[in-house]
Amino acid sequence: GKTETLLEVNNIEVIYNHVILVLKGVSLAVPKGGITALLGGNGAGKTTTLKAISNLLHSERGEVTKGSILYRGERVQDLDPAALVKLGVIQVMEGRHCFEHLTVEENLLTGAYTRTDTGAIAADLDMVYTYFPRLKERRRSQAGYTSGGEQQMVAIGRALMSKPETILLDEPSMGLAPQLVEQIFEIVKAVNEKEGVTFLLAEQNTNVALRYAHYGYILESGRVVMDGPAKDLRENPDVKEFYLGMS
Ligand code: ATP
């Protein structure tokens, strides 16, 4: 049958500080069970789009001034971030944001704060450790002393502890060595396939993102300039020239 669209962004406009128009009518659809990539260079509007979805713009004096955002057909743009987590949507922010003074395991457990099924929480911690064996080894370490790659793993692992239906993942490759980037994307792929978690990921690294995503949207200056199945985008001459550096 037809794949269900979980998240739908319809022609949104975002303005910062009442005057700076940053998103100029962005539309996208995230199908259930897929990995969808939001691509584009520095400042194209990827992070702003993710923050608009999870209602995190207010603290930066940004607001959605036009358009709508629907999750399972329900309008979500007036929900606070905690209510969105209850609906099954969680954002992993750029820059990872661990609680540095807590251990790796304590960080992971903070992801389960909205849950009351305490028995299942222990099982999910094991689930996270099977995807991230490195975190199991480091579980008693203070998160602030772990590497950038380990902190990215903690951030994703913590998101998984909320039992999400959808993860909004901002720039998972940022600051990581190529081999680690590949490792993180392999885990995203495995979580998508085995746990059925839907991903919307923002990524400047077009090359790696288009190898793992099913569908991609390319943003330039706050507009979607191209979209299509990842395979088609990889073979598109303009994408090759401007985003994959192959001309
Ligand atoms: P990056 O990879 O650098 O995060 P991005 O594609 O995610 O890039 P955004 O962070 O969404 O881009 O930024 C889009 C535009 O909005 C940029 O021009 C940026 O300078 C501007 N911008 C972002 N945050 C604010 C803010 N709080 N106030 C004003 N302008 C902002």
pTM, entire model:
0.94
**DSSP per residue, 197-234:** -EEEEEES-HHHHHHH-SEEEEEETTEEEEEEEHHHHH
Global ipTM: 0.94
State the DSSP string of 3-44. Answer: PPEEEEEEEEEEEETTTEEEEEEEEEEEETT-EEEEE-STTS
Name the residue of 13, 14, 19, 20 whose CB sits within 8 Å of the most ligand 1 atoms, as the mutation to test its pocket.
20
d(CA 47, CA 94): 8
pLDDT (tens digit, 0 to 9) for every residue of the chain, 247 residues total? 578 999 999 999 999 999 999 999 999 999 999 999 999 999 999 999 999 999 999 888 999 999 999 999 999 988 888 899 889 999 998 876 789 999 999 999 999 987 888 889 999 999 999 999 999 999 999 999 999 899 999 999 999 999 999 999 999 998 888 999 999 999 999 999 999 999 999 999 999 999 999 999 999 999 999 999 999 999 999 998 888 877 6
* Smallest CA separation from ligand 1 atom 10, residue: 47
**Sheet hosting strand 5-16, strand order edge to edge:** 20-31, 5-16, 62-71, 74-75
Tell me which residue has its CA closest to atom 30 in ligand 1. Answer: 16
What is the three-class DSSP state of 162? coil
Local structure of 65: helix, strand or coil:
strand
Q: Which atom of ligand 1 is nearest to the CA of 44?
A: 6
CA distance 108 to 183: 19
In short, whether 157's Cβ falls inside 6 Å of ligand 1 is no
Mutate to test the pocket of ligand 1, among 46, 61, 205 (most ligand atoms within 8 A of CB): 46
User: What pLDDT shows up at residue 247?
Assistant: 61
53: nearest Cα among 92, 22, 84: 84
